[in-house]
Structure 1
Amino acid sequence: MLLEKYLWSVANRLVKENGFSLIHIQETNKGGQQSGVNLIKNTKSDYTFVRLIPVEFIWPNHMIQEIENTKIVAEKILKHVKGRKMKFLNLYVFQSSPSQDIHDAISRLSREEQKRIEYYFGYVDLERERIGILDKTFEKIGIPMEPFVHYLSHPSQEEPAEIFEEIKDIEKKRIEEINSIFNYGKPLLTYGIIFFNALMFLLMTFSGGSTDPLVLINYGAKESFFITNGEYWRLITPIFLHIGFIHLALNSIAIYYLGQATEKIYGSLRFFIIYIIAGIIGNLGSLFFAPSSLGAGASGAIYGLFGAFLYFGYIYPNLFFRTIGTDILTVLGINLVFSLFAPNVDIYAHLGGLIGGFIVAAIVQIPTQKGKQWRIKITSILILLLIIGVSWWGITSFDFKGSQAIYLKGEEALNKGDLQLAYRIFDHLVKEYPNQPFYHFYFANTVLQQGKPELAEKYYQQALKIEPDFPQVHYNLALISIFKDDQQSAIFHLEKALEIDPYFQEAKKLLDELKS
């Protein structure tokens, strides 16, 4: 009874005060009974395992065999917990003092390092009330020696069954606490976001296709030129747009898994704040570091969820690595490497979202965490304000090239008679891309419709300098010449247009009219 009391009393203390948990191992002694008490504790990616083995009597050769079997058990445990490293303490508890041979067998293997496991061996002599183990072993393992020593001379008054029930109650409360952390909210918004993304994709498909640059611009894709010209809502709308079905499908899968877990931990409101602001910061990263790209997708917001998980790991490091930590870091690492080397992937949006997610998570904080992290909260607020301030200054102070796809929007505006928008777009394009004849042509068309033929003629001539074989430019110059009552010049440009394109019917008809 003393032997059993000692085992459970030490186990109770380690569970109650040192964060250990009982672990069941399919391991039996010669009598067929389970061997001893097994406890495990996780510290980030490392594990500490304590194995308390009761021994009433054992032969030296059996002791050596038992020590070797311990290594097999350790390998099995390490595979089960997916740990990178484990400190494995085997403490044999003897009812009667062990023989010198037994003492020597344990001492020879007092410490051994193998692969990812550090083995420590020792024994407790209940008869002589002493512990046979190397000095500073407990310190190296990271657990106190006091519980092991205390119960040698102060046996517990409780029965082993009572102690076991107490341990069960402690672990039950721990499980309930963990469940409350992982199930604080319900993933309602996650499903709503997936549905809304799919709806926007369908609308874009019926409007001309989600891969059409003009459709993307019209639905609010990230476009630097328009953002710096006051369309700040383009920092939000791209979060809900996707380019092609595969893009939508992959992001929907990511939102489904990451979103559910994040919303359960943070609750719906905090989850939505993290998702949106991380997505905005991701788009700001893309705006400043990839200003010439036309951007859309929930990737920045999704990386924000990764950032929220990193903050969760900062608050609950042991729980994080014991549960989802290794998987989250592995998936995040793979995605970051993929973002670096895959074409047409906006790494700046991803990194911006990741940083933004961590910052916002630190501000809203996890609702179940004990004690508010005021230092990191205030620091994160200041960093977020700095990001907003610098971004606002950059957006209002600089002109961004933007993507060349904005010419499609300019052409659409010209066809609809929105000359103000067309002028703004093509004036920007001829300055940023002076060697593109089409931009000069469209800008000339715009100012011509505004009633400025002299200015239009200037840009038509510029287009011809870049591209002499441009029949439409010659045709429009002929129109301006007719307006100026310069028939000879008009005939010259019409003949030039037909020389370039003999099937240019409008030019042929106008030339015939002039000659007749």
Structure 2
Amino acid sequence: MNAVAVLRLPLQVDLSGFIALLQRLRVPHRVSEEAGEQVLWVPNAALGEQVRVLYSQYPEGASEALLPAAPAAPRRNLLGQLAASPLTAAMLVLTLLVALLTWGGENLAAVRWLSFTDFRLEGDYLQLNYFSASMESGQWWRLITPMLLHFGVLHLAMNSLWYWELGRRIEARQGAWMLLGLTLTFSLVANIAQYAVGGPSLFGGLSGVLYGLLGHCWLFQRLAPTPAYKLPKGVLVMMLAWLLICMTGVFELLQFGAIANAAHVGGLVAGCITGIVGGLLARRYQSVP
């Protein structure tokens, strides 16, 4: 059944209150702009007549007190949440398995097979190869696998928590295949960026991917608002502030270890690009009757 145009109003009419009312009542709808007017669409004529009546009564929306209470969504336990986000869960399980296999980065014999460049241990020093040598040997997996490496429990825990927070949002809104594609893309861009800036070095972690997912959700939400990508207040500011602090080099000065800043920036830039493209496509789709 074709969508029905319920209302055609001038652009200066504020529909935000009425749209919020439709959202609270869970009425499927979309708004487009045509010939200098804003048009409200619903899926069918029967629903359209009800929406017209509702608009005549509450053109500016209605307070919660005037609305029937919506049934509370059932709260999922941990197993239910994992089942609802299988790709996110699978990535975290794989990351945990690699952490156990490499013993948090201490098992260098295992680490060397997943690092961006191969290396050998000579005394207390790592002799790192250039990436071209790995490519000549057909070791293309190294373009992606550094995202699975973590050095220490805190590194693993923080990255896993943020991947769970951001990954399941994208999986719920755009699907598992999109999340997988974004994860691999951001890992590829972040790893190449880090190698291009820092040369042969030992680096790893999901941080570059996480900044990509953050940038994707941020700009997608700006262009095509969706509850799934509405992050808690302060998250974006905190993540960007952390990035800037890391880029100052303070952690290196305090001898806490080197930070893969180029990977973070590369992932963030890639995520902003995909967020813009995805948001524009989503907004265009929403505006097509």
TM-score normalised to structure 1 length: 0.35
The 2-side partners of 1:191 and 1:316 are apart by 26
- C-alpha contact (below 8 Å) 1:14/1:20 kept by paired residues: no
Distance 1:16 1:211, change over 3 A: farther
Do residues 342 (structure 1) and 236 (structure 2) align? Answer: no
The 1-side partners of 2:55 and 2:158 are apart by 52
The AA in structure 2 aligned to 1:351 is: V
Distance 1:272 1:366, change over 3 A: farther
What corresponds to 2:163 in structure 1?
255
Distance 1:314 1:159, change over 3 A: closer
Alignment of 1:31-430 (within 5 A): 163-164=57-58, 167=61, 186-205=84-103, 210-218=105-113, 220-223=114-117, 225-229=129-133, 230=135, 231-316=139-224, 323-324=230-231, 326-340=233-247, 341-343=250-252, 344-363=258-277, 365=278, 369-371=282-284
Distance 1:161 1:289, change over 3 A: closer
C-alpha deviation, 1:352, in angstroms = 0.6
- C-alpha contact (below 8 Å) 2:224/2:283 kept by paired residues: no
C-alpha deviation, 1:306, in angstroms = 1.1
Distance 1:164 1:290, change over 3 A: same
Distance 1:307 1:237, change over 3 A: same
- Structure 1 residue matching 2:105: 3-state secondary structure: coil
Distance 1:367 1:260, change over 3 A: farther
More helix by share: 1
The 2-side partners of 1:235 and 1:159 are apart by 58
The 2-side partners of 1:211 and 1:334 are apart by 30
What corresponds to 2:14 in structure 1?
18
Distance 1:246 1:324, change over 3 A: closer
Give the paired residue count. Answer: 206
- Structure 2 residue matching 1:210: 3-state secondary structure: coil
Identity of aligned residues (%): 23
- C-alpha contact (below 8 Å) 1:15/1:167 kept by paired residues: no
Distance 1:222 1:371, change over 3 A: same
Distance 1:212 1:226, change over 3 A: farther
Gaps spanning 5+ residues in structure 1: where?
Answer: 1-12, 23-157, 176-185, 374-516
What corresponds to 1:485 in structure 2?
none
The 2-side partners of 1:314 and 1:330 are apart by 15
Worse overlay, 240-249 or 308-317: 308-317
Gaps spanning 5+ residues in structure 2: where?
Answer: 1-8, 19-51, 71-83, 118-127, 253-257
- Structure 2 residue matching 1:222: 3-state secondary structure: coil
What corresponds to 1:447 in structure 2?
none
Deviation string for 1:95-150 (max 9, x for gaps)? xxxxxxxxxxxxxxxxxxxxxxxxxxxxxxxxxxxxxxxxxxxxxxxxxxxxxxxx
Cα RMSD after superposing both structures: 3.8
The AA in structure 2 aligned to 1:187 is: S
Higher relative contact order (CA 8 A, sep 6+): 2
The AA in structure 1 aligned to 2:187 is: G
The 1-side partners of 2:174 and 2:195 are apart by 29
